[in-house]
Amino acid sequence: MRSGKKFAILQVTADRIDVGIKFKTLKVNDRATLSGKWNAMVTHRVRIDNPKDVDDELLHWLRGAYDAAGT
């Protein structure tokens, strides 16, 4: 059984989904911004406004966070 270390969170609003990713080596860019005050548990936030925003790049970041967490 794997440990319960968190590597990402989801927050749903009326018009989007915010994905929080705990991935210290992820470089800040126009999609992955620093989480700041939004949530202290994660390092970055990615806003999903359209289902097409869930793409290979986001999945790559989530996989990296998962692997880094050792879960």
- pLDDT tens for residues 11-56? 999 999 999 999 999 999 999 999 999 999 999 999 999 999 999 9
Q: Are the CB atoms for 7 and 22 separated by under 8 Å?
A: yes
Report domain extents, the chain: 8-69
CA distance 2 to 21: 19
Q: Say what the pTM is.
A: 0.87
Q: Are strands 32-34 and 8-12 parallel, antiparallel or unpaired?
A: unpaired
Who's near 54: CB < 8 A, 6+ residues apart? 48
